[in-house]
């Protein structure tokens, strides 16, 4: 693009022909020179105040004026000094980069004559950045890039990434200080990997790897920030790990040794998620960056935010999302993934073996798809070892016909009937034993989840430091009822079970981590209050979870204890219904109610259910209505009387 729209002074020149080669980038073949005046400025418009931008200016002298002499001048970003440009070699380009936050809808880039020669410029780039990048850049502080260094010992010229035309200098050294590693990798469905991240350096003989940076040419009053990029490019065995300390001027950067995840390359997750979106034609709020900013995180994602790195996707929930087609290997590229829920879709074909390489994966739910073939050995072994919760139950395949399929269907049915008969006989013989010993183990094995010991639970919860609530009904019976229900329900707005504990007298279910606690803690507690938009979203998500219990389950389920304390929030403030210990299933989807003993929480209990003992879906709807009133008003279900002896007031009154 011509720069004539952005400046109205200066003269264009071609560089000397002797410096034009086939490998020379087109941007370096011409310059704009300013031989009169002290300061000449480009005006770059259409910026968005508050957005983060990269400005890159390049300079290649190329003896354009025939004088063949060195040139020095200053570069300013608006009214702020940016960098002194010193050009002594006519064929070596000088690149100046600054990362800034726009304070207006325009910015000036100025060349200032300092009597060191005529200022000139080869090209000027302005590019928006993700606001999550470079957190130290803000409206009062810009970052000027000093150097790009590739530790993989090769020159690299990136022409495809969004930071085009950056030359990474190779690591120069006076002695052998490291050995160099390369990684050969096929291109995925989303395009090629960034080559710069597929090379690395390691110290020789486990010694210290030291980098020296000469700052003598730079202003000592400036602060300097190092952006270090790590990725594990060798697939380590499960009993192996790589960890090391990182220091700058003998000061520890991390509190403990750092271990880079396998091939976790920053910013690739954006391309991966867009490729997944395109393959399955996902229609959600999936636009822009999947994880940033936090308020616009993509639906179904959980991201981990660490100040020194780009966000990492740790959970992906695409349950009941209408995914159709083969099981793509793209999911295996999300290296920080801990939970992957693809249940109740129409995925077909084999399960990709590369999922075994997701070292952080602890939950994989493939229930209700049309997958075939065997479960990959790597996943199966991890599931059997208890390090992976694997759910894999196929959809009903009644539509398939043929004698071969009938035989294949009958054989497992006969086996199941025999096994059921044996189980019933054993249960009859042992019916006088304690209920917790009689049923818990069989039921829990069916969940195929990780078995935690009591000691592990104490350690994980820091001695049960944070208690969300205490139940008021039969512990063992409630536990077994909830285990049976959780074995067959899966929805993005219902909490997922990760494991269980049956250790002596300890009987417990282990749910996914919901870092923001209960809805009650936010509405009634001292935490930051929600905006109206957040409250509406939480109400909608909770309603969808409740609707799934009533309409999506066969037979329908009635929760019986919908309340603020049973709606949990994850790190993205995504609401999920929890605690199914009191839930009841209707005998069939045609029966409107069942008669049962009244159970629930005071203040949320449906008056009609309380009077008639007839439990219906409307009982949950009433309880949810109380939750909505609390969410809107900030009041409790039972409003305590201000004076002793006065009657309390219910929120609906």
List, by residue number, the catalytic residues. 561
Taking alpha carbons only, the member of 288, 301, 285, 286 closest to residue 572 is 301
Between CA 162 and CA 167, with CA 166 as vertex, the angle to 5 degrees is: 150
- Number of helices (H), then strands (E), belonging to the chain: the values are 10, 37
Query: Residues in the chain, how many?
Result: 653
Report the C-alpha dihedral over residues 249, 251, 257, 262, rounded to 10 degrees: -50
Taking alpha carbons only, the member of 317, 277, 320 closest to residue 300 is 317
Say how far residue 44 (Cα) sits from the centre of its chain: 34
The rounded distance, in Å, linking the Cα atoms of 223 and 281 is 46
DSSP per-residue string spanning 180-228: EEE-----BTTBPPPGGGGEEEEEGGG---------TTS-TTS------
Say how far residue 500 (Cα) sits from the centre of its chain: 26
The rounded distance, in Å, linking the Cα atoms of 371 and 387 is 23
- Name the token pair of 613: 């003992």
Residue listed under structure tokens 């049962």: 596
Taking alpha carbons only, the member of 342, 335, 617, 368 closest to residue 492 is 342
Taking alpha carbons only, the member of 50, 51, 55, 62 closest to residue 24 is 62
Taking alpha carbons only, the member of 603, 594, 610 closest to residue 627 is 603
The rounded distance, in Å, linking the Cα atoms of 653 and 636 is 12
Taking alpha carbons only, the member of 275, 240, 249, 244 closest to residue 259 is 244
């Amino acid at each position: 693009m011509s720069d004539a729209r952005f400046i109205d002074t200066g003269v264009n020149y071609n560089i000397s022909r002797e410096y034009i080669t086939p490998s020379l980038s087109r941007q370096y073949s011409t310059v704009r020179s300013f031989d009169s005046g002290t300061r000449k400025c480009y005006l770059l418009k259409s910026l968005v105040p508050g957005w983060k931008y990269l400005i890159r200016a390049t300079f290649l002298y190329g003896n354009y004026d025939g004088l063949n002499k060195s040139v020095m001048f200053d570069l300013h970003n608006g009214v702020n000094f940016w960098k002194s440009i010193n050009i002594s070699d006519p064929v070596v380009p000088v690149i100046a980069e600054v990362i800034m936050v726009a304070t207006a809808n325009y910015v000036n880039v100025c060349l200032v004559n300092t009597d060191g020669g005529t200022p000139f410029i080869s090209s000027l780039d302005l590019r928006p950045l993700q606001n999550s990048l470079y957190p130290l850049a803000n409206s009062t502080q810009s970052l000027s890039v000093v150097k790009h260094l590739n530790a993989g010992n090769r020159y690299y010229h990136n022409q495809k990434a969004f930071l085009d035309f950056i030359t990474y200098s190779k690591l120069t050294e006076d002695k052998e200080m490291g050995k160099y590693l390369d990684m050969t990798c096929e291109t995925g469905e989303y395009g090629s990997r960034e080559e710069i991240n597929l090379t690395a350096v390691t110290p020789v003989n486990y010694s210290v790897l030291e980098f020296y940076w000469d700052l003598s040419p730079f202003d000592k009053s400036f602060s300097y920030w190092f952006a270090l990029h790590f990725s594990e490019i060798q697939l380590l065995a499960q009993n192996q790990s790589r960890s090391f300390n990182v220091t700058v001027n003998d000061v520890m950067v991390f509190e403990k040794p750092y271990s880079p995840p396998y091939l976790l390359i920053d910013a690739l997750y954006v391309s991966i998620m867009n490729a997944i979106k395109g393959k399955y034609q996902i229609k959600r709020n999936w636009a822009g960056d999947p994880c940033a900013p936090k308020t616009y995180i993509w639906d179904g994602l959980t991201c981990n935010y660490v100040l020194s790195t780009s966000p990492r996707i740790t959970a992906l929930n695409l349950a009941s999302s209408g995914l159709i087609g083969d099981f793509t290997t793209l999911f295996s590229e999300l290296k920080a993934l801990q939970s992957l829920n693809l249940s109740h879709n129409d995925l077909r074909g084999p399960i990709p073996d590369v999922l075994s390489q997701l070292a952080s994966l602890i939950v994989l739910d493939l229930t209700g798809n049309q997958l075939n073939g065997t479960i990959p050995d790597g996943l199966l072994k991890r599931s059997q070892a208890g390090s992976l919760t694997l759910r894999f139950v196929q959809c009903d395949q009644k539509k398939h016909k043929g004698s071969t399929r009938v035989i294949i269907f009958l054989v497992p049915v006969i086996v199941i009937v025999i096994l059921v008969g044996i189980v019933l006989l054993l249960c009859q013989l042992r019916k006088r034993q304690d209920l917790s010993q009689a049923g818990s183990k069989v039921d829990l094995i069916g969940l195929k989840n990780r078995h935690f010991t009591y000691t592990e639970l104490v350690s994980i919860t820091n001695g049960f430091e944070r208690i969300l609530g205490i139940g008021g009904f039969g512990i063992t019976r409630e536990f077994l009822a909830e285990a049976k229900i959780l074995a067959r329900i899966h929805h993005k707005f219902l909490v997922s079970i990760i494991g269980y504990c049956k250790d002596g007298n300890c009987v417990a279910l282990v749910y996914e981590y919901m870092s923001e606690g209960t809805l009650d803690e936010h509405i009634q507690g001292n935490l930051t209050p929600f905006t109206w938009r957040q409250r509406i979203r939480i109400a909608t998500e909770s309603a969808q979870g409740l609707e799934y219990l009533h309409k999506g389950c066969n037979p329908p389920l009635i929760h019986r204890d919908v309340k603020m304390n049973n709606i949990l929030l994850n790190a993205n403030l995504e609401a999920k219904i929890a605690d199914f210990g009191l839930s009841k299933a209707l005998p069939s989807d045609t029966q409107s109610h069942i008669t049962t003993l009244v159970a629930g929480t005071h203040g949320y209990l449906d008056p009609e259910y309380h009077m008639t003992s007839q439990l219906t879906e409307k009982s949950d709807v009433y309880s949810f209505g109380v939750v909505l009133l609390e969410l809107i008003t900030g009041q409790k279900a039972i409003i305590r009387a201000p004076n002793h002896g006065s009657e309390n007031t219910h929120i609906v009154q």
